[in-house]
């Protein structure tokens, strides 16, 4: 059996996970719901980012970050990011590029399947636990 302790080795279409990144001196904690990437998605996204970055130009560097932000938004269903006044920040690629860099990198690595979220390590969301 490939499923134990709420983890599933197979990523069916529409599958989601709850994620959490603990707060640091750089940023507050963050809860989010995401669709993990499949191996092909991860390879295509990371390859596209590397191609732009390898151009070693300001435009190439900027485009590589924009590709990463677009991938985040394509896989995030929700997040609890707020602005300095406590207002919810809309889930857009432009806004993803404005979150604290350490948080962006952690979020990207979790969605790409390169690291685990904190506290909620690979737990399935309530949606995935419901029959049917």
Give pLDDT, residue 128.
52
Among 69, 66, 72, 37, which residue's Cα sits nearest to residue 52?
66
pLDDT band at 16 (very low <50, low <70, confident <90, very high): confident
DSSP summary character for residue 76? E
14: pLDDT strictly greater than 90 = no
Copy the structure tokens of residue 7.
Answer: 């983890």
pLDDT reported for residue 21 = 94
Give domain limits for the chain: 30-121
54-83 residues labelled b (16+ CB within 10 A) or e (exposed) = eeeeeeeeebbbbbbbbbbeebbeebebee
pLDDT band at residue 9 using 50, 70 and 90 as cut-offs: confident
Nearest Cα neighbor of 90 from 76, 71, 101 is 76
Angle at alpha carbon of residue 106, lines to 100 and 110, rounded to 5°: 145
CB 112 within 8 A of CB 3: no
User: Residue 48 has what pLDDT?
Assistant: 95
Judge whether residue 124 has pLDDT over 50.
Answer: no
């Amino acid at each position: 059996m490939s499923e134990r302790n709420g983890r599933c080795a197979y990523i069916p279409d529409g599958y989601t996970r709850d994620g959490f990144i603990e707060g640091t001196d750089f940023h507050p904690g963050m809860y989010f719901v995401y669709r993990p990437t499949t191996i092909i998605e991860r390879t295509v996204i990371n390859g596209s980012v590397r191609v732009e970055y390898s151009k070693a130009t300001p435009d190439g560097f900027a485009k590589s970050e924009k590709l990463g932000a677009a991938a985040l938004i394509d896989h995030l269903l929700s997040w609890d990011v707020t602005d300095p006044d406590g207002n919810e920040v809309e889930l857009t690629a432009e806004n993803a590029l404005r979150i604290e860099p350490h948080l962006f990198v952690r979020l990207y690595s979790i969605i790409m399947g390169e690291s685990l979220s904190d506290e909620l390590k690979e737990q399935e969301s309530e949606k995935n636990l419901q029959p049917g």
